[in-house]
Structure 1
Amino acid sequence: MTRGIDYGNLMHDAMRGLIRKVMDGVARDGLPGEHHFFITIDTAHPDMQMADWLRARYPEEITLVVQHWFDNLVVEDDGFAITLNFGNSPEPLYVPFDAISTFVDPSVEFGLRFELHQDDLEDEDDDEEAPMIEDAAPQEKTGEVVSLDRFRK
């Protein structure tokens, strides 16, 4: 059976590439202007690295805020390492790009939302449809999520 073009995964890869480029620029030059990020992470992802006490507190997901203080930001092909402050305790993290479920920069009303992770898709039957990229639920001025449905004819 031939398989069609997997637009969902291709789009997710492109969106993760965008996040990679943004984070690489921040690692190199710092956060410009008022830019800051809310990044929601699947803490159960097998490659996610975080302190045991943080994983116990956030066993399913956590939203990281990259704004006023962060340190040791190193961007790699598959993810990034960063040290963030949790209750006056600096904690190193490693975040795989495919563990990210949302990426929002509220300073410019920009956001991305991933419906399924790559690992979830590998378990699906070949006949299943690719994941849809949908609008995130509106929250207090957290930014607009780009929906591909707007551009379909």
Structure 2
Amino acid sequence: MTEDTKQVESLLPYDRWTEEAMREVALRALEHAGEHGLPGEHHFYVTFRTDRPGVAIPSHLKVRYPEEMTIVLQHQFWDLKVNREKDFITAGLSFGGVPATLVIPISAITAFWDPYVRVGLRFPSAEAEPLEAVNESDSAPTPLPVPAEAEAERAEPEGPAQVVSLDAFRRRPARD
């Protein structure tokens, strides 16, 4: 391309179509895992906007992750469901030993990653600024009380964050 060549603006919404197709791939993977479990070593990281309308997470998680959160669907999750008609996914997870059901609108998902096969998808339209509330003081839900077990999770860690490998905690088959 030369400097004289001008980028032509498309009259077709290729960006939107591409994102819809990639979102479909993520939804099919989530549906499969919800119906059949995760095959082999597959596991998913799902990142979503916590500040989007329709997101339902415990209040202590909302305080800790006011804009974006990533969940890992690997060994300990339950009731993973994709509801396309109502445009959301649900999953049961434990946070600090406290079980919770998360409700995540499909449009709030910003990224999907299966590290086993190195498949990663980003959804730029969901990464945009959160939708403005009509009148936040009128529509704000009453926060749920934070369970005592979750108080420790709310505290900010001192120093830099550490990455811990889950391999050390996995059960290994007995050798003959």
CA drift of 1:19 comes to: 1.2
Aligned residues: 120
CA distance in 2, matches of 1:119, 1:97: 14
1:67 aligns with 2:74: yes
Give 1 or 2 for the bigger CA radius of gyration. Answer: 2
CA distance in 2, matches of 1:13, 1:88: 35
The alignment's TM-score, normalised by the length of structure 1, stands at: 0.72
1:31 counterpart letter in structure 2: L
1:96 aligns with 2:90: no
CA distance in 2, matches of 1:63, 1:44: 13
CA distance in 1, matches of 2:28, 2:93: 20
Matching residue of 1:24: 31
Matching residue of 2:63: 56
Percent of residue pairs bearing the same amino acid type: 38
1:24 counterpart letter in structure 2: E
Q: 1:87 to 1:99 in 2, by over 3 A?
A: same
CA drift of 1:25 comes to: 0.7
CA drift of 1:116 comes to: 2.3
Matching residue of 1:79: 88
CA distance in 2, matches of 1:34, 1:95: 24
CA distance in 2, matches of 1:28, 1:112: 22
Return 5+ residue gaps in structure 2 as ranges: 1-9, 132-176
Matching residue of 2:52: 45
Q: 1:119 to 1:109 in 2, by over 3 A?
A: closer
The alignment's TM-score, normalised by the length of structure 2, stands at: 0.63
Return 5+ residue gaps in structure 1 as ranges: 123-153
8 Å contact kept, 2:49–2:126: no
8 Å contact kept, 1:16–1:98: no
2:98 counterpart letter in structure 1: S
User: RMSD in angstroms over aligned alpha carbons?
Assistant: 2.1
CA distance in 1, matches of 2:122, 2:81: 23
